[in-house]
């Protein structure tokens, strides 16, 4: 005769297993029992800070525990990655990083203390394609004109930093269409966009959504995605529309990550963190929009979707030379 679940638990109690089951159930329901630190690869006041503040309100509402940002800006997310990976892999030390930026740093900067596979991903916070902009008053009207100009004279495009995602995206674009655009680091996304707006640089490579604070100063020439998700607000063709099969799909997802050891050594806890983040994120969407994040950027990718994207992205940058 099959043993019922009640009979199994009763049998377990007779063997001294019931207390163990109780402890396991309580452990699964208890996360988090204290504040969670999120190392942020950006400075206070930026998009990372804004999103963490919004998520933190709902996190504390749902869990009774605070979500505390710790700002650790620096090239390639390296300081943020190092702080997170040297903390205990217990779900209480997480990272908010640019996933593309992190992989670019691993490939080109080769940090000494970690490599590919060091992180497990909890979920995205926002994501969107890269885009090339010029200043509103620039005489350059099309992406084709910018490319042809680069073959005749020195054409510059501002980037936030050398050997970061916008730099690598620019080099991928140059290679695909035979352009000779020179990418100039400006120590931050804001300064690089203002350089293009003023005419100091001919263009700027940025994230389509990251440029939102400067839309009034810029004009989009090209979006590096399958479509332009905000074409009504920011007119601009995709690279595929301009160059057909040479078109590139380069995305800049930002989100929450944990040391890979958390998923490897405590898979049940890892799934708890993932599910808690998903619940908080979904409840925070309206507040994220009110904070200025375009609804088209609020894409929640699962850990599995992020890993699939990551495999393709790493393959696309392996043969880029700097």
For residue 152, the enclosing domain spans 130-246
Please check the confidence at residue 7 and state whether its pLDDT lies above 70: no
Let me know whether 182 and 282 are in one domain: no
pLDDT of residue 42: 86
Other residues' Cβ atoms within 10 Å of the Cβ of residue 308: 12
pLDDT of residue 70: 96
pLDDT of residue 29: 57
Using the 3D structure, point to which of 230, 246, 262 is the last residue of a domain: 246
Which CATH number does the domain housing residue 158 bear?
3.40.190.10
Number of domains in the chain: 2
* Burial bucket for residue 298 (CB in 10 Å: 0-12, 13-18, 19+): buried
In a domain, 25, yes or no: no
In a domain, 26, yes or no: no
Using the 3D structure, point to which of 193, 219, 246 is the last residue of a domain: 246
Please check the confidence at residue 40 and state whether its pLDDT lies above 90: yes
What does the pLDDT average to over 302-311? Answer: 97
What does the pLDDT average to over 277-283? Answer: 98
Let me know whether 54 and 110 are in one domain: yes
Let me know whether 118 and 139 are in one domain: no
Q: Which of 298, 257, 278 is nearest to 122 (CA)?
A: 257
Least confident of 13-22, 78-87, 226-235, 260-269: 13-22
Q: Which of 152, 169, 162 is nearest to 250 (CA)?
A: 169
pLDDT of residue 214: 93
pLDDT of residue 178: 97
Residues with Cβ < 8 Å from 46, sequence gap 6 or more?
Answer: none
State the Cα–Cα distance between residues 216 and 311, nearest whole angstrom. Answer: 36
Let me know whether 162 and 227 are in one domain: yes
- The whole model's pTM is what? 0.85
Confidence of residue 24 (pLDDT cuts 50, 70, 90): very low
Let me know whether 105 and 116 are in one domain: yes
Let me know whether 169 and 205 are in one domain: yes
In a domain, 307, yes or no: yes
Let me know whether 197 and 114 are in one domain: no
Which CATH number does the domain housing residue 305 bear?
3.40.190.150
Please check the confidence at residue 22 and state whether its pLDDT lies above 70: no
Let me know whether 202 and 303 are in one domain: no
Let me know whether 258 and 240 are in one domain: no
Let me know whether 40 and 180 are in one domain: no
Cα atoms found within 13 Å of the Cα of residue 304, Cβ hemisphere only: 1
Please check the confidence at residue 36 and state whether its pLDDT lies above 90: yes
In a domain, 3, yes or no: no
What's the whole-number average pLDDT of the chain?
90
Let me know whether 72 and 170 are in one domain: no
Q: Are 159 and 133 in contact (CB under 8 A)?
A: no
Let me know whether 62 and 201 are in one domain: no
Q: Which of 184, 188, 164 is nearest to 320 (CA)?
A: 164
In a domain, 6, yes or no: no
State the Cα–Cα distance between residues 291 and 302, nearest whole angstrom. Answer: 23
90 φ, ψ (degrees, to nearest 5): -120, 10
What does the pLDDT average to over 35-62? Answer: 94
Using the 3D structure, point to which of 187, 221, 246 is the last residue of a domain: 246
In a domain, 178, yes or no: yes
Q: What is the pLDDT of residues 99-125, one digit of tens each?
A: 999 999 999 989 999 999 999 999 999
């Amino acid at each position: 005769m099959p043993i019922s679940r009640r009979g199994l638990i009763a049998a377990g109690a007779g063997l001294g297993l019931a207390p163990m089951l109780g402890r396991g159930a309580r452990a699964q329901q208890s996360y988090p029992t204290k504040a969670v630190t999120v190392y942020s690869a950006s400075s206070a006041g930026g998009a990372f800070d804004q999103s963490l503040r919004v998520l933190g309100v709902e996190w504390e509402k749902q869990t009774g525990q605070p979500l505390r940002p710790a700002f650790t800006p620096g090239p390639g997310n390296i300081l943020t990655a190092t702080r997170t990976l040297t903390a205990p892999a217990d779900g209480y030390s997480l990272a908010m990083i640019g996933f593309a930026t992190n992989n670019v740093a691993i490939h080109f900067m080769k940090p000494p203390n970690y490599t590919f596979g060091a992180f497990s991903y909890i979920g995205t916070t926002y994501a969107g394609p890269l885009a090339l902009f010029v200043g509103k008053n620039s005489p350059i009207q099309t992406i084709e004109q910018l490319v042809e100009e680069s073959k005749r004279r020195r054409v510059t495009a501002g980037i936030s930093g050398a050997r970061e995602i916008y730099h690598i995206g620019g080099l991928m674009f140059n290679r695909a269409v035979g352009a000779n655009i020179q990418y100039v680091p400006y120590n931050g996304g804001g300064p690089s966009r203002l350089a293009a707006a003023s005419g100091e640089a001919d263009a700027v490579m940025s994230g389509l959504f990251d440029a939102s604070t400067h839309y009034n100063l810029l004009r989009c020439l090209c979006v590096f995605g399958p479509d332009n998700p905000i074409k009504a607000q920011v007119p601009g063709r995709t690279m595929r529309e301009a160059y057909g099969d040479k078109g590139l799909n380069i995305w800049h997802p930002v989100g929450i990550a944990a040391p890979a050891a958390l998923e490897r050594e405590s898979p049940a806890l890892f799934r708890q963190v993932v599910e808690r983040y998903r619940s908080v994120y979904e409840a925070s969407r309206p507040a994220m929009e009110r904070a200025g994040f375009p609804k088209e950027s609020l894409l929640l990718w699962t850990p599995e979707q992020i890993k699939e994207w990551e495999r393709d992205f790493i393959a696309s940058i392996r043969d880029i030379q700097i």
